[in-house]
Structure 1
Amino acid sequence: MEMAVLRALSGRYLGRARRLRTALEQDTPDERDVRDTPASRGTNVIMGGGEEADVPHRSVPAEGAGLSTTPVDASTPGRTPAVWGNVPPRNPNFTGRADLLTLLHRQIQGGTTAVLPHALHGMGGVGKSHLAVEYVYQHQGEYDLIWWIPAERATQIGASLVELAHRMNLTAGPDVGSARLAVQEALRLGRPYPRWLLIFDNAESPEVLLPYLPTGGSGSIMITSRNPQWATMARTLEVNVFTRAESVELLRRRGPELTDEQADRLADALGDLPLALEQAAAWRAETGMPAEEYLRLFEEKRVELLEQAPPMDYQLPVAAAWNVSLDRLVVANPAAFRLLQVCSFLAPEPIPRTLFSGAQNADIHPELNGALRDPMRLGRAIRDINRYALARVIHRTNSIQMHRLIQAVLLDRMNAGERDAMRASAHRLLATGDRNDPDTPANWPSYADLYPHVLVSGAVESAQGWVHQLIYNEARYLYWWGDMEASLELSRHAYDTWRQRLGETDATTLRIGQWLGFMLYRLGRHSEARELNSRILRAHESASDEDTEELLSARGAVAADLRVAGDFAQALEIDEDVYRRHVVLLGEDDPSTLNAAHNLAVSLRLTGDMRRAFAVDRSTYAHRVLLFGEDHAQTLESHLNLIIDRRELGEYLPARAEMQNVVDRLPLVWGSAQTQTLLARRRLASAVRKAGDHVTARDLSQEVRDGFAARYGAGHPDTLLAAFGLAVDLRATGDLDSAARLSEEITESYHRLFGDEHPYTVAARANAAIVHRLRGDAALARSVNEAGLTVLARRLGPDHPLVLAASINLGNDLYVLGEHRAAYELDRATVDRAREVFGPEHPTTLIALGNLAMDLIALERVAEGRALLDEIGPTFHRTLGDAHPATRAGLDPAVRGDCDLDPMPL
């Protein structure tokens, strides 16, 4: 278990794609010196219009793009701040824009603690982001911290703030929510950096950005944005195209042979747009074409373009300028031109060169295959593309990147047939980059590289089988990496598209549909998941009477829906059957059989059969180690489940040590897969709690609960499970009021999510009942426990661990209420059942025995009671150690032991 996406529709996905890539990269910042800085100021917000992809701010900007042209005084930089991150390199040729830079500095210096935005805006390509870069370098000596944040999407901002929190040495979880709060608070307080500057580059939407902005402190904020909506909430400063003098200066600096008159004519033809001027200057510098010939060619292309609508709302001169370069490339290197055409369907993000070299054995396009199969020809093609400034070669990441304007020009030059052919070629190229193993963390950077191109190219609409496989693998990768919403979006779009084009019963449609069901399930959208999974199962059953791998997997999905509904016994029955059929069909060590075994163990834990769950998980883990290795995502999942089994079998201290060891090495294996890491840390919190360290467990639970809440909301199943443990830890550390409030919130959330009699809902009430008794209302606790025990026994059976825990707690209620005979009768029956279910030395059995001893003493059978305490004392010490709270409580004739109702994950 577990698009036609057109370019106009794909923009909303790219922020997420960039976060995936950014979070997987491990950039090493330059070493920076620390220095004194001027007096602090109030927080300011300066807004400017971010550029398109012409200057990616993680690499060197195109020389001169969007810049003025007088040399910069190299003596101005000053010392670099203590924290300096992601700021693009300074262009040594930047000058001019002096008035704007002065005004910008005056606004920042004159700000107050009340944030009043000043919007620096203008059309795309006029150099607004370059202006921000130049400002940073001119005034870097005035700050302790400068951090550049790509801000086109919230996910990009979040990833950058996680990195900033790490660089500031802040205590925060690995999730975006806690990192954002930690950074905002540290900047507000000015600790440890009172003078700071944040630059949010290319912010699209005020609504998206505002939650991430610090609301006070002694620093400054600069925002670049093309969105005109900022003008409604900020004072504006317009950045216009170059003055003619600046245009002439740029053109003559790059081409000294130009006369003033020739440069003036060229600047006029290009509309003084810095981006177009830079492209023309770069092209002429590479080719040496005389100005008159360039002007003639440009005029010819401009006339042609005037006969059709300009692409993507960009000015005509930009497209015309690039058409000149493209015409020359067609003649000079046809394969390079075809390569550009293929890339025009991809995202304006870095394209790994390994994608081209890895396609040497594939049939991509007749006029491109030769270059892809010959490393020398491929190298020449990329060199020529770079020579004509049609794409940038990024040596640091061994990739190339095309500007979206060039892509638009290329698309405009193709007829409908060429577009279809080259789009199909782009899809085939992407499919060659699929390593077909999205569950291995080592492959995640590769899938992150492909993801934005899969979206923008409309790969979901491809009719090619290997492209369908790539889509499925990308959806799986997104889940393992931790972005379940992205996986849901991709799989839903693929399911809807393939269902319409291929049919509802097509195998490809059904497979992605089942993955979609799993994502709905994981995101807590259970009714949608149940409906979809049932429909898919019916489709499989109508197609064949014979067992198939796909049919069995669909039945397993329905079993998961039954677990969500609280019907654990029926889910176990299906999982047993599905596993047996897998073994017959595929063998016991097939990956699909191991998935079925994994699901079987989940149901065994939920029904309370921990011994068998341990045996199944142990076998599954051993097989997965042999098949995939220890660091495979599914292997690690089995390992974590195996530790849970050991813990539930009473090995509290060894389970904590082993879980800590696994969680400590997860960042080395999973990197920034935040959700998976949070899941593991939640399990660690449970292990620490069972080992008796409630203070550490409380901190872990709070971190995990906040992380899930920031990512998915307070009512998400993962958030609630983390909150469940946190409520127990709050109670155990004496914060009864907070424990009571949180327990009430959890109960209400489970009631809405699962219903009143779901075991999770009842368990939440039972845990809250312990708090009621400790706060002095034993009668309320008794009423809650009696009602809950009735429901749990009916739904789970009398020997289920949750039933036994609830029985122990009810006995405590009776004891506190003075009903010692009733407490004794209940505790004696509970001890007998606990010995059968858990064994004589399990901590739960020992707690029940300690309570029984207190019953005997209260009934004036003091000798029997003390003899029982003496009998269980050595076992407590051996099993839990001297310092465990249960040991101290179990041996104290005045303290009764409670049992937390800790439901197993669904």
Structure 2
Amino acid sequence: MIGEQPPGVGASGDRSMAAGGSIGVAISGDNTRVVILPPDAVHWARTVQAPPEAGYLPGSASGVFVGREDELAGLRAMLTGEGTAAVTQAAVRAIHGLGGVGKSTLALQYAHRYRGEYTLVWWMTAESAESIVRSLSELAMSLCPHWAGAASPDERAAWAMLWLQEHSDWLLIFDNIENPAHLRPYLGTLHRGHHLATSRKATGWHALAPTMALGLLPLEKATDLLCTLVAFPDGTATDHDRDAARELARTLGCLPLALEQAGAYAFQTGTDLDTYRQSLGLVLDEVTEGIDPERTIARIWDHTITAITDRNPLAVTLLTVMAWLAPDDIPRTYLAPLAPTSIALNSALGVLHTYNMVTFTDQKNLNVHRLVQTVLRTRGNPPPGRADAERLIHQAMPSHDGSPAPAEQWQQWLPHITALAESSPPDHMAAAETIMAYRTATDYLHRQGRTVHAVSLLQAILAHAERTLGDTHPATLTSRHQLAYAYKEAGNPERAIPLHETTLAQREQTLGHTHPSTLTSRNGLATAYDDAGDLERAIPLYETTLAQREQTLGHTHPSTLTSRNNLAYAHWKARDLEQAIPLYETTLAQREQVLGHTHPDTLTSRSNLAVAFETAGDLERAIPLYEATLAQREQTLGHTHPSTLTSRGILANAYANAGDLERAIPLYETTLAQREQVLGHTHPDTLTSRSNLAVARAAQRTSSSTCPPDDHTNASTPRPHD
């Protein structure tokens, strides 16, 4: 895998960026994807208004909402209070707590109760950066279908970001955030509405949002909830009924999900609460955090599954299959092959809904609670439903017939194939067609520049190859190298290095030291060492790889140029400029000859060389290169492309360091304005530009000529990788 990476400023990491104007919008998940929107799309983003009560919520407001009124009022006060306290700071609130405690229910209730206060309410599944982008894509389809229908998912997400920047008084709900850092680009860019997040994670929020720790229900509130759910014949619970409900609530640890499922069971079967509690057996064990949600749900499930089986055995089959898929937006069409008719499918799903095992998001999709999935996956060996789930996901694979598939099919399918890989039981032997589906998903993600999201798929592929082919089979070595690369892209060199070391040793032994695959492994290991800060081991490997590529591929082969750039960069990091500068000069000359003067890789080499010259204190040679690179990036990439902003920022620093503040300050002003537009007012790179401009203006007032080159740190461009 070979390709030059863009400069670091505003172009890497978990960032999402949006900008107006005809240039378009740049957005990113874990990898940067620059999206250029046409002028008509920008026009629609600015002019399209949300219809009354527009938005998407995954269900209606609960008719049974007990015990959370104080939290609901607190949410409202927090969101509206922050919104009025600082115009530029979006109102943000994060709800965290263990699974089944009612975080999503509280967020949904808030959205319904205050829907009239917002121009748009949009619920987003937020387990990953990709799922957030997918939800934004769906927002664009909802608001502007006449344009979005012909656009790609990334273009739609970019359009949605621009729309949110242009309009106000909206509410975004990020449900089930696994990594709080995934919120950072949205909080830093979208300031004209409210953000509400739910998460099981209690940490990682201190720099992002105030949090509300949602605990178990108080015992009396839990008792009220059970009494309401059971709906006693006279409409009022007797003292005996309340005593039975109180004891059952205590047995279930006052966990809302458990209470809801127990109440649904008692109501549907007519079982009184005291009898139901006694049938559960011993009081559930407690762990350090209090109630153990998995054990609680498992004990309830033993009774519920019996009742569901008696009513509709197909419903149990469907539920065991859904346990292995992503919990949200499971298409009914995926489950259809399990039912003899659509009527039978709908009837079985209706039974599951009656027992509170699934919720319907719309006419096409449904959700199952993550805690229910976790419990179901551990019941039996072989685990029930796994084989059917693998078969159904393979059948649903996009392009299964060889024809190109719409992007929407990929976006719908990827969460479920990924969940299938992540949930694979220990020592499970996946079917051959399942591994083929994993590879298909991995290839698609790599083509989209999203290799970081393929880690779980690659782990499953490697485990299968090791088990079926052995450790040293070429296919196993390829799978191991690909997984190591994905770890490195995910910023985890500690996991990448051992895999690269093993792969390199085995390829040297089986293929020889100069085989192209061996050279790829050696370069991969060197970059992993480099990323881990171990230049003493990285540089010798870079040198060896470069020499062998020059010998076997030639001095101007793209892979050779990659190796030379890698080695130059490592020497630059080590501040060995006598080694770095000649290598950068050679790489630039050869890329100009082979690729042309305005190719992105050539521009990267020119910028690298300029940075090296300036590091050496040679501004006379650095500044003309900076100027040429900026002019060419403006021409080829546009004025607001992240690489262009990097070039403009480091040129301003070079002018300032040369004492030429008259030329530095206008560039700082332009860079700041464009970063505010593209990245938002609170993005770290925007803050860097604002600081640089302030220091330059202060230096001008005091006739000082020193301005700290903060952009230099970010301007050192990452190497391309095999």
| TM-score category, normalised to shorter length | 0.5 to 0.7
Gap change, CA 1:528 and 1:101, over 3 Å in 2? closer
Alignment equivalent of 1:697, drawn from 635, 638, 641? 635
CA contact (8 A) 2:328 2:368 kept: yes
Q: Write the mapping of 1:573-722 to structure 2, written as runs, cut at 5 A.
A: 697-700=635-638, 702-703=640-641, 705=643
What's the offset of the Cα at 1:257? 1.8
Structure 1 residue 299 corresponds to structure 2 residue 278: yes
- How far off is 1:476 after superposition? 1.2
**How many residues matched?**
519
CA change 1:230–1:295 in 2 (3 A) is: farther
CA distance in 2 between partners of 1:521 and 1:109 (Å): 41
Of stretches 471-480 and 237-246 in structure 1, the one that deviates more from structure 2 is 237-246
Aligned to 2:319: 340
- Counterpart AA for 1:473: T
**TM-score normalised by length of structure 1:** 0.44
Residue 444 (1) aligns with residue 410 (2) = yes
Preserved contact between residue 442 and residue 457 of structure 2 (Cα < 8 Å) = yes
Task: Name the aligned partner's letter for residue 63 of structure 2.
Answer: N
Q: Equivalents in 1 of 2:382, 2:288: separation in Å?
A: 19
Q: CA deviation at 1:314?
A: 0.9
Match of 2:63 among 80, 93, 96: 93
Q: What is residue 698 of structure 2 aligned with on the other side?
A: none
Matches of 1:209 and 1:379, distance apart in 2 = 37
Please, which of 458, 469, 472 is the counterpart of residue 424 of structure 2?
458
Whole-angstrom CA distance in 2 between matches of 1:85 and 1:432: 32
Letter in 1 for 2:472: T
The 1:459–1:436 alpha-carbon spacing in structure 2 relative to 1, beyond 3 Å, is: farther
Larger radius of gyration: 1
Answer yes or no: is the 8 Å Cα contact 2:422–2:456 preserved in 1: no
Instruction: Give the 5 Å matches for 1:727-766.
Output: none
Are 2:59 and 2:361, in contact at CA under 8 Å, matched by a contact in 1?
A: no
1:184-203 pair list within 5 angstroms = 192-193=166-167, 195-203=169-177
Residue in 2 that maps onto 1:290:
270
2:104 alignment counterpart: 129
Give distance in 2, aligned partners of 1:347 and 1:480. Answer: 23
CA–CA separation in structure 1 for the residues paired with 2:124 and 2:446: 25
Partner residue of 2:330 out of 345, 351, 357: 351
Return closer, same or farther for 1:384/1:467 CA change in 2, 3 Å cut-off: same
- State the partner residue of 2:233: 257
Cα offset, 1:304, TM superposition: 8.6
Written as runs of structure 1 = structure 2, the 5 A alignment for 1:19-38 is none
Deviation at 1:336, TM superposition (A): 3.8
1:183-219 Cα offsets, whole Å, 9 max, x none, are: 7xx98xxx74454544444345555545643499675
The letter for the 1-side match of 2:231 is G
Secondary structure (helix, strand or coil) at the match of 1:260 reads: coil
Establish whether residue 512 from structure 1 lines up as the match of residue 512 from structure 2.
Answer: no
CA distance in 1, matches of 2:638, 2:199: 38
Give 1:102 shift.
Answer: 3.6
d(CA) in 1 for partners of 2:136 and 2:425? 31
For the Cα contact (< 8 Å) 2:136–2:160, is it kept in 1?
A: no
Give the Cα separation in 1 of the matches to 2:322 and 2:50: 43
Check 1:196–1:321 CA distance in 2 against 1; reply closer, same or farther (3 A cut): same
Between the aligned partners of 1:517 and 1:470, the Cα distance in structure 2 is 20
Matches within 5 A, 1:143-162: 143-144=118-119, 146-157=121-132
Equivalent residue runs for 1:163-242 within 5 Å: 192-193=166-167, 195-204=169-178, 209-210=183-184, 212-214=186-188, 220-229=194-203, 234=210, 241=217
1:275 equivalent to 2:257? Answer yes
- Counterpart position of 1:402: 368
Q: How does 1:100-115 map to 2 (within 5 A)?
A: 100-111=71-82, 112-113=85-86
Superposed displacement of residue 344, structure 1: 3.0
Deviations 1:146-196 (A, max 9, x none): 554544444545655687799999xxx9989x969987xx98xxx744545
Report the CA distance between 1:120 and its aligned residue.
Answer: 5.4
DSSP 3-state at the match of 1:401 = strand
Change (3 A) 1:268 1:236: same
- Given that 2:127 and 2:178 are in contact with CA atoms closer than 8 Å, whether structure 1 keeps it comes out as yes
Deviation of residue 87 (structure 1)? Answer: 4.1
How far off its partner does 1:260 sit?
0.6
- Aligned 8 A contact 2:421 2:460 in 1: no
Cα distance between partner residues in 1 of 2:503 and 2:665: 39
The one-character-per-residue Cα deviations of 1:683-708 (angstroms, maximum 9, x if unpaired) are xxxxxx99xx96863553752638xx
Change (3 A) 1:569 1:103: closer
Distance 1:701 1:534, change over 3 A: farther
1:436-477 Cα offsets, whole Å, 9 max, x none, are 769945363464143232233227954343333233222212
Distance 1:395 1:236, change over 3 A: closer
Q: Corresponding residue for 1:794? A: none
Taking the aligned partners of 1:275 and 1:904, their CA distance within structure 2 comes to: 49
Q: Whole-Å Cα distance in 1 between the matches of residues 95 and 488 of structure 2? A: 45
1:324, distance to aligned residue in structure 2 (A) = 1.9
Alpha-carbon distance between aligned partners in 1 of 2:300 and 2:374, rounded to the nearest angstrom: 13
Alignment of 1:419-430 (within 5 A): 419=383, 423=386, 426-430=389-393
Q: Are 1:325 and 2:292 counterparts?
A: no
Q: Where does structure 1 lack aligned partners over 5 or more consecutive residues?
A: 3-18, 24-28, 36-78, 359-370, 543-550, 576-599, 607-643, 656-688, 715-719, 728-734, 742-902
> Contact conserved, 2:90 with 2:187, CA < 8 A, in 1?
no
Alpha-carbon distance in 2 for matches of 1:701, 1:174: 24
Q: Deviations over 1:74-128 (max 9, x none)?
A: xxxxx64xxx544445416266644444444344444423899877565544434
1:195–1:218 contact (8 Å) kept in structure 2: yes
Q: Which amino acid aligns with 1:202?
A: N
Query: Which residue identity lines up with residue 261 of structure 2 in the other structure?
Result: Q
Identity of aligned pairs, percent?
Answer: 23
Distance 1:276 1:481 in 2: 41
Q: Any conservation in 1 of the 2:58–2:362 contact (CA below 8 Å)?
A: no
Task: Establish whether residue 471 from structure 1 lines up as the match of residue 438 from structure 2.
Answer: yes
Post-superposition shift, 1:372?
5.8
Q: 1:270·1:317 contact (CA, 8 Å) conserved in 2?
A: no
Task: Give the whole-Å Cα distance in 2 for the aligned partners of 1:290 and 1:529.
Answer: 57
Root-mean-square deviation over aligned CA pairs: 6.2
Partners of 2:291 and 2:326 in 1: CA distance: 15
Maintained 8 Å contact 1:462/1:468 = no
Q: In 2 relative to 1, CA 574–428 (structure 1 residues): closer, same or farther, beyond 3 Å?
A: farther
User: How far apart are the structure 1 equivalents of 2:307 and 2:263?
Assistant: 15
Distance in 2, Cα, partners of 1:239 & 1:154: 27
- 2:355 equivalent in structure 1: 388
Residue 254 of structure 1 contacts residue 282 of structure 1 at CA under 8 Å; is this kept in 2? yes
Which runs of 5 or more residues in structure 2 are unaligned?
A: 3-28, 34-44, 145-151, 525-541, 563-590, 600-627, 655-661, 669-718
Q: Is the 8 A contact 1:427 1:462 kept in 2?
A: no
Structure 1 residue 504: Cα displacement: 1.6
1:326, distance to aligned residue in structure 2 (A): 0.4
